[in-house]
Homo-oligomer: A and B are copies of this chain.
Amino acid sequence: MSNYNRNNIPRVKHWYDERVTNVFDDPRITAVGLLFEAHAGLSARFNAQLEEHGLSAVEFEVITRLARSPGNQLRMTDLAAQTSLSTSGVTRVVDRMERDGLLTRRACPNDRRSSYAVVTASGMQRLNETLPGHLQMIEQWFTGQLDPEALAALLDGLRRVRDAAHPCATAGSDDVSPEQVAATDNATRRH
């Protein structure tokens, strides 16, 4: 370590003004803050709308992921891998949603250890009631805030960050090969 970088803060790049008033007001922190606050803000908006339909964010994610899977079903483990939940978390969400009639468990014919979570007719109906409003919220607070080029740039940047940082979230899906999943999964999934 030479002496052009006396403080032990990593060397800054040149995409921001170096004259910072306070060490803790680092532009990198601000950048992260921007992403996190955007996320928090959207979450809050979405939660409010989802709650009107009696769904929490995780329940909505679960039912959506099931609904777009073949047969409207997914094995518990695959569901856990696709969501931000642990397997025990999935057990409990499915418990609640089964109690509420949105989902059912179905035994897996080939493997008696596995069971599928399946969306019921009532669950599909709930989703159909919820989704239009949800898409509207997305347009209102997210995609509609930017013109097409800016949005494309934003999504492009997000995709790159996601690809770099995200510890995999598409197990059991058809658009990702299982080997690819197995390779990256479980390494950094949970802190």
Contact = CB atoms under 8 A, between A and B. Distances in A.
Best-surrounded residue of A39, A47, A146 (most CB of chain B within 10 A) = A39
Nearest to A63: B24
Contacts of A157: 146, 150-151, 153-154, 157
B8 A128 contact: yes
Interface string A14-56: 1100000011111011011011111111101111100100000
A35 to B, nearest CB: 6
Contacts of A189: 44
B158 A48 contact: no
User: DSSP class of A's interface residues: helix, strand, loop or mixed?
Assistant: helix
Contact of A38 (B47, B51, B145, B162): B162
Contact of A64 (B29, B36, B151, B190): B29
Interface stretch (A73-81, A95-103, A104-112, A165-173): A165-173
Nearest to A166: B41
B153 A38 contact: no
Best-surrounded residue of A138, A150, A161, A188 (most CB of chain B within 10 A) = A161
Contacts of A31: 138, 142-143, 151, 155
